[in-house]
Amino acid sequence: MVAEKIDGNAVAKKIRERIHAEIAEKQKVSSRFKPSLTIIQVGDRSDSSTYVRMKLKAAEEANIDCKLTKFPEDVSEVELLEYIDQINNDPSVHGLLVQLPLPKHINEVNVTEAVSVDKDVDGFGTYNIGELAKRGGKPLFTPCTPKGVMVLLEEAGVDLAGKNAVVIGRSDIVGSPASYLLKNADATVTVCHSRTKNLPEIVKQADVVVAAIGKAQFVKGEWLKEGAVVIDVGTNYIPDSTKKSGQRLVGDVDYESAAQVASKITPVPGGVGPMTVAMLLQNVVASAKRHAEVQSARSIKPLPLKLQSPVPSDIAVSRAQRPKNIKTVAKELGLTENEVELFGAYKAKVKLDVYDRLKHRKDGKYVLVAGITPTPLGEGKSTTTMGISQALGAHLGKICFANVRQPSQGPTFGIKGGAAGGGYAQVIPMDEFNMHLTGDIHAITAANNLLAAAIDTRMFHEATQKDKALYSRLVPKKKGVREFAPIWFRRLRKLGINKTNPDDLTEEEITRFARLDIDPETITWKRVLDVNDRHLRQIEIGLAPTEKGHRRVTGFDISVASEVMAVLALSTDLADMRERLGRMVIGTSKQGEPVTCDDLGVGGALTALMKDAIKPNLMQTLEGTPVFVHAGPFANISIGASSVIADKLALKLAGTEEDEDPVEKAGYVVTEAGFDFTMGGERFFNIKCRSSGLVPDVVVIVATVRALKVHGGGPDISPGAPLAEEYRTENVELLRKGCVNLAKHIANAKSYGVPVIVAVNKFETDTDAEIQCIREEAVKAGAEDAIMANHWAEGGKGAIDLAKGIIEASQKPKDFKLLYDENLSIVEKLEAIATKMYGAAGIELTENAKKQAETYTRQGFSHLPVCIAKTQYSLSHDASLKGAPTGFTVPIRDIKMSPGAGYLYAKAADIQTIPGLPTAPGYINVDVDMETGEIEGLF
């Protein structure tokens, strides 16, 4: 008889067509579904090139994106491994194949093992082969040739159960995995090889023969059992003068004699070869589908809390919880190893290119947490932020980020303490959160002080050199050629000088370029440090004899008050940060022109110092939900909120793919505004949202019974002093009077067209009647609801009802609008804030403030939004005015400019930009355990 030919070409063609149709169907639901394969080829062997061309052609037919990367024959193993690592960490690539064989100087095992398990579409890696060998194992990928063998047997209608199968060849690529697959199909398998004795006799017993020994026409027809099924895996070339190449491709089986005995047989070529490629494509599609499923199924595995009563100190609560390794948190969010930069086990930086990878996603829900006018004890805004995040992420199954500022060491070692939250709703490890973190504030300090040094240095050299000498040093000759440093083209453009050759400038142009002529009386730029050192508020510099009498009075700010910090918070990417840093104004020339950081030639250097600080810091809450800690602008003269970049990135990580339900699957980003809504919330909308283009879906206003009683006329509260009777016992009448403050904040928030929820942060002394009173007054004022939360004592569990209310409110429509148009004058913007937000009758500018407003208008900065620095303890500028005062006039004493950050700030009081330390500062309690190395005494 003549054997039936098993046509691998036909079967492979059907598979490619099926793959093409499957991809097209998937793309109807998700247009971004695009299976992608990268092939690495080293050298230019003709057989390897032939195989690669086959794979490229087949991938194109199947609608699979296939990229070939070729390396020269002499490429080093290290270079090859580095490229493999790069592809392993590229989420857009679903399969990675290294075309074998490799040159002798490269270890094939090292290279194939370097391919990530979830991209090993060849199935050659230890994990996949090991799982395949296990009974009941689950490899991610089955090696392509053995898989193709099994599909051909199935297509040919061969029932393997109970059959005797002989595999000739024991390679890890074909023979051994083929034997595992045959065994899994319930065949009785014998594996033979080059040293097997009595091979023909063994083969004679086989119902199925798989030949993969690599010897041309090795298996003869007389070896076969009558009616056997033969699968020939061999690819061998033998001389053939009739062929143009002088060679002919044959298998391991002598086809002519075998076809006379076998019932079914695969030809060579046209049998297993095309099936190998088809199975490779099938593996790539399976990998792409698995990747999409993993992304869709991304979820946070919460850490359980062991609640204690009474609640221990914050540091004790933090220490009692063992955090997840930050790599685990990152993986749960769908981040690759290459997208995070580790700083120890519990914190990491996230690279900005993650945003580009995810920019197609629909943003998650954006939640802003603000508060009522607080008491000096604080009302738990940060704690509530953490509680909501833990409730949403650990108890309601949502991807939820808490986005908060990095705390300054000033308050940490001063009187306020850190900003990690508290009780069972906080960021952990809290000591790492409050100490240095990843060094962002130090980078800001360095950048700020480099600019400060540049200012005084330039003034010194301008005072001691003539124009041409100054120009020669600013644009020096190098190897006899004078060229502008790239940064100088920014100054040339500003001056309207279009020349590129330094030698072409006229004397007048040289003077204009080289001489900034800074008026010392107008310099606003100070040095900074991250310590509450009141004695540096005003200093005199230039006292050393070497400064030749060039003295001036200046001072220090705290690092978080630096405009560099505000730039970090409001930048949208690295390029935007570079532009913002460059346009920061440090003072005015004697001709009345603003002098910028780029005029001094230092913008690029500042960017270099800040290039890592711009990446958000990833941490976690007590219940293992993610936290972005990034930037920490001084809450009085700046936005007092975390960074735009962290918010934008978190909204994408918590966002939805196009094939996901944006309501059911949406994650949440809970971010915090500084101080109360009337200060922090107003700036969040009018400055941060104006800059970022993002708009919150819901505003949460944190209130406490204690603070509202103060606004109802209760006694003053002082840190460390016992609470008065009114705050320890039920007093609904006093509370209801104080709700006028809550009502004003609700009205202010609603004026931006966003739904409002009130979070009542529960204290032990609060009663049901008092909670109900707040709810009644909040709803009457226009809030969607007022919900009590006990997250401080119970963690996320205590804020579940609040989180559910936020989910419901976030689905409601919004009609976003800003408080004022940017085309209003500086004074009109100040009036809008004072009258509409604070309830003032108007504002009154000092003569100095009027001159500053006129100067900034003349210089072209009147379009910038504004913020007003004032007390946080009243809606007004006067801390003694509680409740919701009206009819007062807000005094504007001073106006400063932060054009790099993108706003102006006016002072309505004597705001200190570097705080002082109290008599008994927080640092008194801080120490290190000499046995464990742990920090003690933090809060």
The reply to whether 55 belongs to the active site is: yes
Distance CA(16)–CA(410), nearest Å, equals 65
Residues 6+ apart with CB under 8 A from 244: none
The amino acid that residue 128 corresponds to is: N
The amino acid that residue 867 corresponds to is: C
Sign for the CA dihedral angle at 731, 732, 733, 739 comes to positive
Q: Which of 26, 41, 55, 648 is catalytic?
A: 55
Q: Which of 99, 217, 409, 620 is catalytic?
A: 99
833-852: string of b/e by CB count within 10 Å (b at 16+)? bbebbbbbeebebeeebeeb
Task: Map 628-662 to HEC letters.
Answer: EECCCCCCCCCCCCCCHHHHHHHHHHCCECCCCCC
Sign for the CA dihedral angle at 779, 782, 787, 788 comes to negative
Residues 6+ apart with CB under 8 A from 235: 249, 251, 268, 273
Distance CA(14)–CA(612), nearest Å, equals 51
Distance CA(849)–CA(866), nearest Å, equals 13
First to last CA, the chain: 90
Residues 6+ apart with CB under 8 A from 567: 577, 580, 581, 584, 900, 901
Measured CA to CA in angstroms, residue 652 lies from 447, 657, 916, 930 at distances of: 30, 10, 40, 43
Closest CA to 584 of 572, 571, 839, 915: 571
Burial class of 685 by CB neighbour count within 10 A (0 to 12, 13 to 18, 19+): buried
912's enclosing H/E stretch is: none
Instruction: Measure the CA angle with vertex 882, ends 878 and 886; round to 5°.
Output: 75
Distance CA(247)–CA(244), nearest Å, equals 8
Strands (E), 537-667: 539-541, 552-554, 556-558, 585-588, 594-596, 617-621, 626-629
DSSP 514: H
Helix (H, G, I), strand (E, B) or coil at 679: helix
Neighbouring-strand partners of residue 698: 367
Contact by Cβ (8 Å): 654, 668: yes
Helix (H, G, I), strand (E, B) or coil at 62: coil
Q: Which two tokens stand for residue 802?
A: 């609040």
Question: At residue 796, what are phi and psi to the nearest 5 degrees?
Answer: -60, -30
The reply to whether 99 belongs to the active site is: yes
Residues 6+ apart with CB under 8 A from 186: 160, 161, 162
For the chain, give the number of residues. 939
Closest CA to 563 of 898, 866, 895: 898
DSSP 217: T
Q: Which two tokens stand for residue 896?
A: 């400063």
Burial class of 46 by CB neighbour count within 10 A (0 to 12, 13 to 18, 19+): exposed
481's enclosing H/E stretch is: strand 481-482
Burial class of 804 by CB neighbour count within 10 A (0 to 12, 13 to 18, 19+): middle
Strands (E), 894-934: 894-898, 903-907, 927-928
Q: Which of 26, 41, 119, 122 is catalytic?
A: 122
Contact by Cβ (8 Å): 855, 897: no
| Residues with active-site annotation | 55, 99, 122
